[in-house]
Chain A
Amino acid sequence: DAGVIQSPRHEVTEMGQEVTLRCKPISGHDYLFWYRQTMMRGLELLIYFNNNVPIDDSGMPEDRFSAKMPNASFSTLKIQPSEPRDSAVYFCASSLVDRGLIMEKLFFGSGTQLSVL
């Protein structure tokens, strides 16, 4: 398996522009997570999906952030309009609930380095 695939690897944009980050989870996984990592705040969970349905978006910082999962193999995280403080590395992760409904490990993608100028 290719693992969790994120694109783009790097994104540089100007303040006010719309940014869309993309993620392809591991085939067969039924949970998908979006994390954000900054030097100041470390790794933060933004939102997660189960079977394509958003379950908890309490970590989404503002209404400027939105996430969708139209099918089991694709998810997007959109920022509109973007601001310089959104600059961070955004990670997507997926997982599978098995072995008696117990989730053991998350598989992370390589992340998208976002820079908003």
Chain B
Amino acid sequence: DAKTTQPPSMDCAEGRAANLPCNHSTISGNEYVYWYRQIHSQGPQYIIHGLKNNETNEMASLIITEDRKSSTLILPHATLRDTAVYYCIVRPLNTGFQKLVFGTGTRLLVSP
């Protein structure tokens, strides 16, 4: 599986957009980019995933560069409840189960 690189921590003001970067320069053509987050004392929570097109859902937007070597998770209007560790994961999306390998993630702190 391709490895990912994320900054260890980021800060964001409440109400502003939080842009979390992820580098995955060794990504393969059949590998998807997944984002999960883990709020303190809770299990990880799925946010979004994508292959090469930008994706948006009710939680966030995912922007993947044209060469697919990096991506950005965007929380358009961060709230205090978005304070969490955000994990960027790359894995192939084939039939059956593919192991999720969690790295160290980015610790996002949203402040008033």
Contacts and interface: CB of A to CB of B under 8 A. Distances in A.
A91 B43 contact: yes
A111 interface: yes
Interface residues of A, number: 24
Contacts of A101: 95-96
Nearest to A6: B43
Contacts of A43: 44, 102
Chain B contact surface mostly: loop
Interface string A70-107: 00000000000000000000010101010011111111
B104 to A, nearest CB: 6
Contacts of A104: 46, 49, 93
Interface string B21-53: 000000000000000000001111110010000
Contacts of A91: 43-44
A56 B93 CA distance: 18
Interface of B: 41-46, 49, 93-100, 102-104
